[in-house]
Amino acid sequence: MANLKATHQKTKRHNRDLVLKTIFARQPISRAEIARITSLTRATVSEIINTFLTEGLVEEVGLGSSIGGKSPILLSLVADSRYLIGLNLAQDKFIGSVVNLLGELKETVEIPISDNDGKQALDTVFQILDQLVAKNWKPVVGIGIATPGLVNTREGVVLNAVNLDWQDLPLAHLIKARYRLPVCVVNDSQANAIGEFVYGGKHEPEGNLVVVNVRHGIGAGILINGQLFQGDGGSAGEIGHVMVQPEGGRLCRCGKRGCLETISSAKAVVQRARELAKDFPHSELAKNPANINLNAVVDAFQHNDTLALLVARDAAKFLGFSLATLVGTLNIEDIVLTGEMSRLGSTWLAQIRESMLEAGLARMVQETRLEIGKLDFRGYILGSSALMLLEDYSLLFLKSEE
């Protein structure tokens, strides 16, 4: 009997999480539609929904359109019934927010970061969390951290984050000990991908998505069957160091030559503009080459400055080639571009698409949708907080289980 009961409990939990996952991705949604998607019986779905209503986790929000017969009642999560905290450890500042179940940022704290000092970086994480926790948004059910560098998400350890001076830091453990909450630590480009997937209008319970984050460096996050795919070593999506110029490429910070980052990143674009300025005396950028930064390049690009157009076009070209390779490898048909470089906007996007179409197998690249992400800095925060949910919806249940 103990056996049967344990099995039954497990099933109930599984079904409950499945229903919640479906509401999370597809809200507002009717009970009938949930039953259809999950293959659970309508009676089971209704029973589960009743517990959600009792918990205050879900609410009835109106009537859907009918296809004959009664209009179905639509259900949504109660936006402010639970909160998560998401934190992004960006290069110049750490920024954390309390987030509700619709991905709205309720409260945000940021602290600038200067020194490359591991102890101070950790203190700053605690400072932000202390402030957010003190604000009295209740209940907070978990904390997610997006960090640069190499992360073991399963163990919650930052293996190596050079800018933060962290090696083998058991970050999840340290935060859990202080705040007594579930904690999740994830690479920032991967977090950003989760954010775009869950809150960027791409949320399908079993969907696939690639999000390529193009900023100082370049990194991607890959969602497969509705879950973050990290690969065996945790670094899936590390496409910034894919070699795109086998001959005569520039030296990369990784020690190799011709990496995608050396031509398509924000850093590369700025560097190349500085170096080439002397050949473009009429360029606005040539006036003070040493002061060229990404803002200047973006401005000049929008004014059709020849130097800015050149470096941006080369950046777009090789990024497009890399996307063609990605599409050939994974055949994932939704790709979102994020990061500072996406400020170059639709012209840049069109050039990337053109190169992707040139380099890829026609029937595959033609079916691929490229777009620019909508969440900017929120992607990291929302993604780090949402990862915990994608992996375990039971976080949201407060009452003890039967």
Residues of this chain that interact with a second copy (CB under 8 A) are 2-3, 6-8, 10-11, 14-15, 40-41, 43-44, 47, 150, 208, 220, 222, 224-225, 229-239, 241-244, 246-247, 254-256, 321, 324-326, 328-334, 358-364, 367
Q: How far apart (Å, rounded) are the C-alpha atoms in residues 173 and 287? A: 51
Contact 193, 237 (CB under 8 A): yes
Instruction: Tell me phi and psi for residue 161, to 5 degrees.
Output: -135, 95
Pairing status of strand 150-152 against strand 157-161 = antiparallel
DSSP state of 163: G
- Tell me whether residue 261 or residue 305 sits nearer to a second copy (CB atom): 261
- Contacts (Cβ under 8 Å, ≥6 apart) of 400: none
Contact 342, 315 (CB under 8 A): no
Q: How far apart (Å, rounded) are the C-alpha atoms in residues 351 and 342? A: 12
| Omega within 30 of 0 (cis) for the link into 289 | no
> What's the closest the beta carbon of residue 37 comes to a second copy, in angstroms?
15
> What's the closest the beta carbon of residue 235 comes to a second copy, in angstroms?
5
> What's the closest the beta carbon of residue 352 comes to a second copy, in angstroms?
15
Q: How far apart (Å, rounded) are the C-alpha atoms in residues 145 and 89? A: 8
As given in the structure block, the two tokens for residue 45 are: 């779905």
As given in the structure block, the two tokens for residue 304 are: 């059709």
- Tell me whether residue 116 or residue 225 sits nearer to a second copy (CB atom): 225
Rounded alpha-carbon distances, angstroms, from residue 45 to 100, 103, 180: 24, 25, 32
> What's the closest the beta carbon of residue 252 comes to a second copy, in angstroms?
10
- Tell me whether residue 255 or residue 281 sits nearer to a second copy (CB atom): 255
> What's the closest the beta carbon of residue 36 comes to a second copy, in angstroms?
15
- Contacts (Cβ under 8 Å, ≥6 apart) of 85: 96, 97, 98, 99, 129, 132, 133, 140, 142, 143, 144, 385
> What's the closest the beta carbon of residue 12 comes to a second copy, in angstroms?
8
CB atoms within 10 A of CB 33: 18
CB atoms within 10 A of CB 103: 20
- Tell me whether residue 324 or residue 390 sits nearer to a second copy (CB atom): 324
- Calculate the CA dihedral of residues 347, 266, 233, 188 and round it to 10 degrees: -90
> What's the closest the beta carbon of residue 60 comes to a second copy, in angstroms?
21
β-bridge mates for residue 75, sequence order: 29, 60
Q: How far apart (Å, rounded) are the C-alpha atoms in residues 389 and 83? A: 11
> What's the closest the beta carbon of residue 11 comes to a second copy, in angstroms?
4
Contact 107, 132 (CB under 8 A): yes
Angle at 390 between CA 384 and CA 395, to 5 degrees: 90
CB atoms within 10 A of CB 144: 29
